[in-house]
Amino acid sequence: MGYVAVTGGQEAIEASLQHLTYERIKEGKFIDVESIKATMRGFLDQVMSESSLYSERLAALAMKQSEGNVEEAVFLLRAHRSTLPRLYYSTVTDARDMFVIRRISASFKDIPGGQILGASHDYLHRLLDFSLVEETEQDVLRKKAEFEAIEVPEESSLPLEKLPKVMDYLRKEGLINEFPLNDEEPDDITKESLTFPSSRSERLQILTRGQTGTVTSLGYAGLRGYGSSHPNVGEVRVGYQPIHIALDEEGEEYYIGSIKLTEVESFIPANVSEDGKEVLEFDIGYGACFGQNETKAIAMSILDHALENPEKIPIHDEEFVLLHVDTVESTGFISHLKLPHYVTFQSKLEQIRKIKREGVTNE
């Protein structure tokens, strides 16, 4: 009985898609992809991070096509990604080489290079700015010129392209465990399905492309008592990360561009055993993602630490966290419930009717 509607369904679907297109254009207004790219920084950063594909232009196109629907935009980009060949792997990218445009620490006031606020919504009163309703292109150009005319120092000695890490402070004092460089090739969840127990590289790859809201909520749950990783944010850095590939056997590097990146190190107190004694040290929780997504990166650092220390608490459980944070998997599964389940539902309905009938008969 569910299958009878298929022919009629095709026509209805076509009409539905026409309506969908009409919804996007019915006001007779238009926004071009370049305008989205130039003005919707936060949206693009979130979508690029969740889709695990860095391209501002494609993210802007996805926003236009999806009418600003994040889950749909991420789905579009993941699907598009699957049509493209992977041509290269980058050489090892280290955020120590980032050109920093914002760097703050919640753990130390005085840090090498200083607290650099950069551009952030953190210091705004969250009041709607109604002057933007009438903002024109001329207004934008005037404001741009005003900003560019602000007097700035003639020279800067800030080493923004090689800013030291805040955690190096604690490493020098022996308050953080030292780890040697580990060049083991990472696992890749886009090539092989996740199995448990997972590797560290798999966990980080899943968390970095996790749904922003879910990663944030789970990190928050961890702080509220559903976990035992309580961090101090050691450093949040945002900046432009140069990307290189190695083209030939000699491994000579080739620069292909830079991406905007957020990286977080959280300090989390931990008891460790040293010479038979329990001593307090700091563990590092690590978070990093495409774009300027600071809340997500901080939450990721909480989850990273939680999963490094498994316990029978939800956010310390790798299966619970890793199988549920992905945008496409979670929204896909939930939204599939909208699709026709006529046969399965009819079967359940028939079972219940039968039980009811038999129940009545038995009485």
Partner 1 sequence: MKRALRTKLLIEVGRNEAIQFANEISTKYQVEEIQAPKLGLTMIKMRESAQQSLFYIGEVLVTETKVKIVESFGIGVVMEDDEGLSRALAIVDAAYKENLPETQNWQGEFEKLEQRYQQQLQQLKCSIERTKVNFETMKI
Residue of the chain from 65, 217, 228, 242 that contacts partner 1 (CB under 8 A):
242
Strands 277-290 and 99-104: unpaired
Residue of the chain from 290, 298, 327, 328 that contacts partner 1 (CB under 8 A):
290
Do the beta carbons of residue 160 and residue 101 sit within 8 Å?
A: yes
Residue of the chain from 134, 155, 274, 278 that contacts partner 1 (CB under 8 A):
155
Do the beta carbons of residue 318 and residue 198 sit within 8 Å?
A: yes
**Helix ranges restricted to H, 134-262:** 137-148, 167-172, 200-208, 212-221
Of 94 and 358, CB closest to partner 1: 94
Do the beta carbons of residue 316 and residue 227 sit within 8 Å?
A: yes
CA gap 98, 162 in Å, rounded:
7
CA gap 192, 266 in Å, rounded:
30
Q: Nearest-CA neighbor of 64 among 15, 23, 29, 24?
A: 24
Q: Nearest-CA neighbor of 306 among 298, 317, 297, 295?
A: 317
At 94, list the tokens: 């280290």
146 binds partner 1 (CB under 8 A): no
Q: What does R_g of the chain's alpha carbons equal in angstroms?
A: 25
Min dist CB 341 to partner 1, Å, is: 34
Min dist CB 202 to partner 1, Å, is: 8
288 binds partner 1 (CB under 8 A): yes
Q: Nearest-CA neighbor of 263 among 101, 153, 85?
A: 101
- Check residue 250 and report its DSSP letter: T
How far is residue 101 from each of residues 46, 178, 183, 237, measured CA to CA in Å?
Answer: 18, 28, 28, 8
Number of residues that bind partner 1 (CB under 8 A): 85
34 binds partner 1 (CB under 8 A): no
256 binds partner 1 (CB under 8 A): yes
String marking each residue 187-216 x if it binds partner 1 according to CB under 8 A: -x-x---------xx--xx--xx-------
Cα 352 to chain centroid, rounded: 44
Site for partner 1 in 102-131 (CB under 8 A): 102, 109-110, 114-119
Min dist CB 11 to partner 1, Å, is: 35
Burial of 295 (C-beta count, 10 Å sphere; 0-12/13-18/19+): middle
Residue of the chain from 43, 54, 75, 169 that contacts partner 1 (CB under 8 A):
54
Residue of the chain from 1, 25, 150, 339 that contacts partner 1 (CB under 8 A):
150
Of 91 and 351, CB closest to partner 1: 91
165 binds partner 1 (CB under 8 A): yes
Query: Interacting stretch for partner 1, rule CB under 8 A, among 21-29, 281-289, 322-330, 349-357?
Result: 281-289
Residue of the chain from 33, 194, 223, 243 that contacts partner 1 (CB under 8 A):
243
Min dist CB 266 to partner 1, Å, is: 9
149 binds partner 1 (CB under 8 A): no
CA gap 363, 355 in Å, rounded:
12
175 binds partner 1 (CB under 8 A): no
304 binds partner 1 (CB under 8 A): yes
Q: Nearest-CA neighbor of 241 among 95, 44, 63, 55?
A: 95
Min dist CB 242 to partner 1, Å, is: 7
Min dist CB 87 to partner 1, Å, is: 4
Residue of the chain from 11, 137, 185, 278 that contacts partner 1 (CB under 8 A):
185
43 binds partner 1 (CB under 8 A): no
Residue of the chain from 29, 86, 126, 312 that contacts partner 1 (CB under 8 A):
86
